[in-house]
Chains A and B, each alone.
Chain A
Amino acid sequence: MQKNLILSLVFVNFAYANDYEFNFDDLEKIQTKQYEYSGYIKLEQKYQILNKSSPKYTTKNKDDMQSYYGEGLLNFKYFKDNIIFNSEIMAYYENIDKEEDHNFSLNQAFVNYNYDVNHQINIGKKTAKWGKGYFFNPVAFIDRRKDPNEPELTKEGFTQINYKYNKVYVKQLQNFALDISYLKTTEDINKDLYPTTSNILALKAYFLYKDIDMDFVYFYSNKDSNQYGFDFSTNLETNFEIHGEFAKNDNNEYSYLLGIKYLTQSELTIISEYFYKNKEQEKDTSFWDNSYFINKFTKKEPFDFLYLNLYYKNSLNLDDKSHQNNLGFIYTGIKNVEIDFSISKLLGDDNSEFGSKLVDRFSWLQIKYNF
């Protein structure tokens, strides 16, 4: 017994002695290289129970269906003096109720030239990622439309020539940054922005003024309507953030969002966003209606369960009162692996947005391995 105790004490001390040191392996990891790569492979499985009162139900005529999805992403960077070559490629395979599809895309491929700390140029295909909203981004004029169910999936950029100016001040205006992009569209390039030949100039002016992030954005097209807007984000308290976006175009179409992020003392994070647009979209696009209210509650490490986050998300269509509910967890306790599992239920009248969907409820599992 005593021997075991001594052995375990020696082991504990030895273990902590190692923890307290920065060893050679650690030093090897901090060496910089001429190139870097990273990426992930993720696998998803979805089991869906179908909605018999959906108008689309006749296309399936069965109780349930299975879907599988696999995606791989590789990010590669090469460094040479003041120049960085960035690229991101992605491939996916999907099997939705035995209907297969696959694709390969070059999400980004651009050269970044840092002239000095204030000026830089980017040439090539890149994402802009404008906006402050978590689920919607009305001001993201040169990004692909965000799907609030999977807001991180807008990975593919547009081909552009981009200039950035960045300057720090020591006054109430702490930081100013200017972002100007020129994009040419043809039937082959940037066709998701405009289907034929056009010239686009997009501009974003960022200000960090008195602890408030603010962006003013402008989109000029010689063929399409011009767009303009602004966004902001600030902390009212250390645990309470508010943000918003407003965008309008020459055809009097406008949209806006107001959102909050609040962290309670028990480490429950609440993200709420109200979104309104005055023009409805095609009904086959997700979130096509005028106004939505989305709330997500995430509880960090409940019951001292390290690396586990529980979440509940409710997406409410305020016009027809239908809604989608997701309850799930994310576990990151295994090195470089992320497990995300959720169950979802759609509720609403038969002719409402979520009530008329083909799927009534589903379970979803995603396993992601990062390298």
Chain B
Amino acid sequence: MQKRIQKTLFIFLISFFGSLAYAQNQESLLVQIDKKLSPGSSESYKKLINIEPDGSKKEFLLYQARKGNDKMVSAFLQPESEKGRTTLRVGDNMWLYLPEVGRAIRVTSMQSVIGGVFNNSDIMRLDFSTEYEIDSQEEKDDEIILITKAKSENIAYDKLIIRVDKKTITPKTIECYSSTGMLIKTLFYKEIKDFGNSIIRPSVIETNSPLYKGYKSIMVYGKIIPKEFSDEAFTLENLSKVDNLRR
């Protein structure tokens, strides 16, 4: 009897710690992807391009600064019509500053400040591990398929299916689903580039959406530089002066 109890206890402990280790391993894969995509505190320059079905394009040039896993600001540098527009994200809170309004207004992650397929959540993306947890994981040839679930209802997409390149531990494609199971868009990560400072990651994110048939949006990273910022750089008070962080 005692042996049986010992055996049951042993099996229970093995399976408990085994599942704990498995969960940690799964969790660490999202953390690993985050580390590959962006250093904790950094500044970056991005080009956003909306391409219409007839081939016509509109380009935006964006400066971004981030700190830790919950703070980010963006400032449009080009075109002139968008210049001075800045966006702040602190956790799930997001604000937009418009020079013509002169103050910050709260915006949602599902909105798009530029039009096109990318919304605020795509442009102001924080770490995957901050917003999502892994539901299931499957290895297939040279990729790992992760099915992730949003940690809260405030996240733009309820579910992500991430195809991760085994070699580089960076995403190849991400399918973004709503809470009703509708595919909102697919993000394609392309063109692995060495940005220096051990940052080797896809330099291009391309997206299309069944909601915008024939339209395509591209995000191109020009520079990613590790840089420290004060916490106060990520406040409403500083939102009209984000551009000064570049100086």
- Which residues of B are found within 8 Å of A29, using beta-carbon distances? 61, 77-78
Stretch in contact with the other chain, from B4-12, B25-33, B80-88 = B80-88
Tell yes or no: A284 within 8 A of B by CB. Answer: no
The answer on a CB contact under 8 Å between B213 and A235 is no
The answer on a CB contact under 8 Å between B45 and A22 is yes
Tell yes or no: A299 within 8 A of B by CB. Answer: no
Shortest CB-to-CB span from B71 to chain A, Å, is 9
Tell yes or no: A320 within 8 A of B by CB. Answer: no
The answer on a CB contact under 8 Å between A235 and B106 is yes
Q: Which residues of chain B in 172-186 are interfacial with respect to chain A, using CB atoms and an 8 Å cutoff?
A: 178
- Which residues of A are found within 8 Å of B90, using beta-carbon distances? 174, 208
Contact with B along A216-248 (1 / 0, CB 8 A): 000000000000000001110111010100000
The answer on a CB contact under 8 Å between B190 and A22 is no
Tell yes or no: A175 within 8 A of B by CB. Answer: yes
Residue of B nearest to A235 (CB): B106
Given contacts A152-B101, A332-B115, contact A168 B231 (CB under 8 A): yes
Tell yes or no: B79 within 8 A of A by CB. Answer: yes
Given contacts A117-B233, A337-B81, contact A306 B47 (CB under 8 A): no
- Chain B residues bordering chain A, tally (CB within 8 A): 68
Bound together, the chains give a CA A20 to CA B99 distance in angstroms of 30
Bound together, the chains give a CA A370 to CA B99 distance in angstroms of 12
Bound together, the chains give a CA A38 to CA B103 distance in angstroms of 18
* Cross-interface CB contact of A332 among B81, B100, B213, cutoff 8 Å: B81
Tell yes or no: B204 within 8 A of A by CB. Answer: yes
Shortest CB-to-CB span from B229 to chain A, Å, is 9
* Cross-interface CB contact of A238 among B81, B156, B234, cutoff 8 Å: B156
Contact with B along A308-346 (1 / 0, CB 8 A): 000000000000000000000000110111100000000
Contact with B along A48-81 (1 / 0, CB 8 A): 0000000000000000000000000001000100
- Which residues of B are found within 8 Å of A27, using beta-carbon distances? 222
The answer on a CB contact under 8 Å between B106 and A261 is yes
- Which residues of B are found within 8 Å of A296, using beta-carbon distances? none
- Which residues of A are found within 8 Å of B49, using beta-carbon distances? 19
Chain A interface (Cβ < 8 Å from any Cβ of B) = 15, 19-22, 26-27, 29-30, 32, 36, 38, 75, 79, 84, 117-118, 127, 129-132, 134, 152, 155, 164, 166-168, 174-175, 177, 206, 208, 211, 213, 233-235, 237-239, 241, 243, 261, 263, 265, 267, 269, 300-301, 304, 306-307, 332-333, 335-338, 370-371
Other CB < 8 Å A-B pairs besides A235-B92, A239-B108, 11 of them?
A: A27-B222, A38-B80, A38-B84, A174-B90, A175-B236, A213-B106, A238-B154, A263-B110, A306-B116, A307-B58, A335-B58
